[in-house]
C-alpha cells in the first residue's frame, strides 16, 4: 500500500473512530485461522460467520425476497428461489480472509496451471458473484482459484490499475508493532467494503457440518461502521462445509 493510499484510509477512518487494540486483536485472530484444505467433498472454510435471525419473506416484482437480521450486519436481503423459511438455521459468511489480510498480492501472482477437471466432477463453472470491491483479480493464486471454483463463484469482480496494486505483506511475527497496527487499520477499511457473501445451513443439529444454500443468489452485504469489533472477533471461525 502506498503512502497516499494509507493516508486516504486513515483519513476516512478518523470520521468513524474505532479501538485500535481490538482491531489488532481481530487481525491476529483472522491470521491464526488455518488455510483451508481443499478436496472434492468438503472444505474447512476460514471466515467471518454471522448467524441469521428469523427469516421473513415478501414478494417483489423480481421474485421472492427473504430478510433476516444479524448482530454484525443488520438486516440482510436475499433473493432466491429456495424457501429459506423452511430451514432451521442459516449462517451468512464473509469468506474473503486472504483479501482482508492482503495475505498475498492478488492480481500480481501468476496462476499455476490447473489440471483439467474430470467432466464428471461435481464442481461446475463459476458464475457471477461480487467479491470484495477493489480486489485485484488478473491472475489469482491457484489455491484461490480452486476455492472460488468449489463454491461456484469468481475470485473477484473488479480490477484496478497495476499502479495501484498492494504490496504483499509478511506474517505478523515478522513486523513491528507499528506495522501490525497499520495492517489492522487497513483491515478495518476493507471490512467496511461491500462483499459477496455465501449462505449456509447446518446439515444436522448434532453435527457441525454445513452445506451451501441459495447458491444462485448474488448476496451482497457490508459490515456497518458501528459494528462492535468484539462481535467481529467472535465471528472469526472455521466452518466444515460439504
Helix, strand, coil % over all residues of the chain, rounded to 5: 30, 25, 45
> 146: part of which helix (H) or strand (E)?
helix 142-150
Q: Nearest Cα to 30, choosing from 215, 225, 180?
A: 180
Q: What percent of the chain has pLDDT over 90?
A: 33
More confident residue, 120 or 40: 40
The pLDDT, as a whole number, for residue 124 is 40
> Once rounded to an integer, what is the mean pLDDT over residues 149-156?
51
The pLDDT, as a whole number, for residue 207 is 76
> Once rounded to an integer, what is the mean pLDDT over residues 221-232?
92
**Residue 109 to residue 103: CA distance in whole angstroms:** 12
The pLDDT, as a whole number, for residue 114 is 44
Q: Is the pLDDT of residue 163 over 60?
A: no
Domain definitions of the chain by residue range: 3-34+43-112+123-241
More confident residue, 41 or 123: 41
**Residue 38 to residue 147: CA distance in whole angstroms:** 7
Residue 4 three-state SS: helix
Structure confidence by residue, pLDDT tens digits, 90-106: 999 999 998 888 776 44
pTM: 0.67
> Once rounded to an integer, what is the mean pLDDT over residues 121-147?
44
The pLDDT, as a whole number, for residue 205 is 77
Q: How buried is residue 190: exposed, middle or buried, by Cβ count under 10 Å (0-12/13-18/19+)?
A: buried
**Residue 117 to residue 241: CA distance in whole angstroms:** 21
The pLDDT, as a whole number, for residue 5 is 57
The pLDDT, as a whole number, for residue 22 is 92
Amino acid at each position: 500500500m502506498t503512502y497516499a493510499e494509507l493516508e486516504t484510509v486513515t483519513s476516512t477512518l478518523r470520521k468513524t473512530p474505532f479501538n485500535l487494540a481490538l482491531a489488532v486483536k481481530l487481525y491476529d485472530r483472522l491470521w491464526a485461522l488455518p488455510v483451508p484444505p481443499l478436496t472434492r467433498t468438503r472444505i474447512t472454510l476460514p471466515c467471518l460467520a454471522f448467524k441469521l435471525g428469523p427469516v421473513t419473506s415478501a414478494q417483489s416484482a423480481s421474485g421472492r425476497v427473504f430478510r433476516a437480521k444479524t448482530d454484525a450486519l443488520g438486516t440482510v436481503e436475499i433473493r432466491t428461489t429456495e424457501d429459506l423459511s423452511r430451514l432451521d438455521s442459516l449462517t451468512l459468511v464473509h469468506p474473503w480472509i486472504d483479501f482482508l489480510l492482503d495475505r498475498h498480492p492478488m492480481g500480481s501472482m501468476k496462476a499455476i496451471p490447473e489440471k483439467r477437471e474430470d467432466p464428471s466432477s461435481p464442481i461446475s463453472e463459476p458464475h457471477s458473484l461480487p467479491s470484495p470491491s477493489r480486489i485485484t483479480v488478473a491472475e489469482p493464486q491457484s489455491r484461490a482459484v480452486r476455492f472460488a471454483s468449489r463454491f461456484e463463484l469468481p475470485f473477484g469482480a473488479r480490477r484496478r490499475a497495476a499502479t495501484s496494486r498492494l504490496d504483499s505483506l509478511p506474517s505478523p511475527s515478522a513486523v513491528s508493532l507499528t506495522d501490525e497496527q497499520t495492517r489492522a487499520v487497513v483491515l478495518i477499511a476493507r471490512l467496511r467494503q461491500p462483499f459477496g457473501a455465501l449462505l449456509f445451513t447446518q446439515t444436522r443439529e448434532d453435527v457441525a457440518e454445513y452445506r451451501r444454500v441459495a447458491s444462485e443468489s448474488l448476496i451482497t452485504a457490508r459490515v456497518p461502521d458501528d459494528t462492535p469489533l468484539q462481535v467481529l472477533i467472535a465471528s472469526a471461525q472455521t466452518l466444515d462445509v460439504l
